[in-house]
């Protein structure tokens, strides 16, 4: 099924109108839409507007508050604690990262935690915010339990992504943006929309046995019936799945425990005491002023040297190119900015249905 090419500006406007109609303040609606469209522009459809209905449903069933106020609860010269007000994760993340950036510019380092938040989109959006000020940016978040710890068959930890962005000179910035699981949940949704089995090694079924049955895996995740996504590295210890498991816990320590948010199996609406309430996702943001450690131009030139050394090294047989993290996404961004953003037919169908339900003009296709 062929993708439909859409205009990114009109797509963002459409998403903004959806959020505003649901009671979200226009500025917060614009931020959320920008994060979603930025994901599609960077070739990450698993976290793009395909997830719009996730937020719409959350607002409609009150697990996400449309009128949330993001506030600072505690701060020092270099740290801050932010309350997301149980609203959309994107405005809370944007606020938290900006606060970290301001503190880094003033004091050299800025570290900020956010609690009472929700899913915030791609982690790289926030780390890359630091690049405009020639800072190193750090972004991570915990998430709903979808990943099975090494040797387990129960979903007890999140896909818990990590991102770090660092400026360079002539080369494009280094941007690491990765889940600590083999893949994020959104990848399964992409395969489901394409009616394709997922690759062996991505997930296990309710018995803890590796499975390629996309629908069964997604159903199990939805019903918490057992099984789930594997940690980065895969099953067991042979290919270091235990290291991915450890990295996921690292994110939970900083994003969950340190922020006062929920963690691991409790990042969900049903809590330990049996009550149902807001999900309480936690984020962790950091910004580092490079000049406090090394001359900025020296840092950038060394980054160029390091990355070029890697890219120009001998290629494995049959391979034409060695990539640096972020390069593929930058190239997708350039392509889609020029030619339009491809969306799967099922996503287009969902957007059209939403436009009819909410009486919003559908005018996004190129």
| CATH fold label, 68-179+239-312 | Ribosomal Protein S8; Chain: A, domain 1 (3.30.1370)
Q: Is 347 exposed, middle or buried (0-12, 13-18, 19+ CB in 10 A)?
A: buried
Helix ranges (DSSP H) in 116-213: 123-127, 185-193
pLDDT, residue 95, reads: 98
65 touches 85 (CB < 8 A):
yes
pLDDT, residue 162, reads: 98
Answer whether CATH 3.40.1280.10 is correct for domain 1-67+340-366.
no
pLDDT, residue 168, reads: 98
Q: Which pLDDT tens digits describe the chain residue by residue (366 residues)?
A: 689 999 999 999 999 999 999 999 999 999 999 999 999 999 999 999 999 999 999 999 999 999 999 999 999 999 999 999 999 999 999 999 999 999 999 999 999 999 999 999 999 999 999 999 999 999 999 999 999 999 999 999 999 999 999 999 999 999 999 999 999 888 898 899 889 999 999 999 999 999 999 999 999 998 888 999 999 999 999 999 999 999 999 999 999 999 999 999 999 887 878 887 899 999 999 999 999 999 999 999 999 999 999 999 999 999 999 999 999 999 999 999 999 999 999 999 999 999 999 999 999 999
229 touches 202 (CB < 8 A):
yes
**86 Cβ contact list (under 8 Å, min separation 6):** 64, 65, 68, 116, 117, 118, 278, 280
pLDDT, residue 225, reads: 87
Topology agreement, domain 68-179+239-312 and domain 183-229: no
> Which residue has tokens 């997922």?
198
pLDDT, residue 189, reads: 87
pLDDT, residue 318, reads: 97
158 touches 252 (CB < 8 A):
yes
* Strand-pair partners of 166: 174
pLDDT, residue 360, reads: 97
Inter-axis angle of helices 8-21 and 52-60, to 10 degrees? 10
pLDDT, residue 223, reads: 87
CATH placement of domain 183-229: 3.30.60.50
Question: How many C-beta atoms surround the C-beta of residue 100 within 10 A?
Answer: 31
285 touches 139 (CB < 8 A):
yes
pLDDT, residue 193, reads: 87
Q: Of 86, 90, 84, nearest to 52 (Cα)?
A: 90
Report the predicted TM-score, pTM, of the whole model to 2 decimal places.
Answer: 0.95
Q: What gap in Å lies between CA 283 and CA 83, rounded to an integer? A: 10
* Greatest C-alpha distance within the chain: 57
Q: What gap in Å lies between CA 361 and CA 169, rounded to an integer? A: 43
What are the domain boundaries of the chain?
Answer: 1-67+340-366, 68-179+239-312, 183-229
């Amino acid at each position: 099924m062929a993708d439909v090419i859409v205009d990114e500006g009109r797509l963002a406007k459409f998403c903004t109108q959806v959020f505003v109609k649901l009671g979200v303040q226009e500025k917060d609606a614009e931020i959320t839409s920008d994060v979603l469209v930025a994901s599609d522009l960077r070739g990450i459809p698993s976290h793009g507007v395909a997830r719009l209905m996730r937020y719409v449903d959350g607002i409609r069933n009150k697990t996400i508050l449309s009128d949330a106020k993001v506030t600072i609860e505690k701060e020092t010269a270099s740290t801050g604690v932010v309350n997301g007000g149980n609203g959309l994760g994107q405005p809370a993340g944007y606020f938290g990262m900006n606060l970290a950036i301001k503190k880094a510019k003033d004091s050299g380092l800025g570290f900020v935690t956010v609690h009472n938040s929700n899913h915030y989109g791609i982690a790289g959006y926030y780390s890359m915010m630091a690049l405009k000020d020639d800072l190193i940016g750090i972004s991570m978040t915990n998430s709903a339990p979808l990943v099975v710890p090494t040797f387990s068959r129960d979903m007890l930890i999140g896909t818990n992504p990590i991102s770090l962005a660092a400026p360079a000179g002539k080369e494009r910035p280094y941007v690491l943006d990765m889940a600590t699981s083999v893949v994020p949940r959104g990848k399964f949704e992409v395969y489901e929309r394409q009616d394709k089995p997922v690759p062996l090694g991505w997930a296990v079924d309710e018995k803890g046995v590796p499975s390629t049955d996309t629908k069964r895996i997604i159903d199990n995740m939805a019903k918490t019936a057992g099984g789930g996504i594997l940690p980065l590295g895969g099953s067991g210890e042979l290919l270091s799945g235990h290291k991915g498991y450890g990295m996921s816990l690292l994110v939970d320590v900083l994003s969950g425990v340190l922020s006062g948010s929920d963690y691991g199996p409790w990042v969900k609406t049903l809590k330990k005491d049996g009550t149902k309430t807001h999900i309480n996702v936690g984020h962790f943001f950091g910004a580092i002023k490079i000049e406090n450690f090394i001359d900025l131009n020296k840092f950038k030139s060394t980054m160029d040297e390091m990355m070029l050394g890697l890219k120009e090294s001998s290629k494995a047989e049959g391979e034409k190119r060695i990539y640096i993290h972020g390069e593929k996404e930058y190239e997708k961004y350039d392509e889609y900015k020029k030619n339009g953003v491809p969306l799967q037919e099922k996503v287009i169908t969902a957007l059209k249905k939403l436009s009819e339900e909410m009486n919003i003009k559908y005018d996004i296709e190129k």
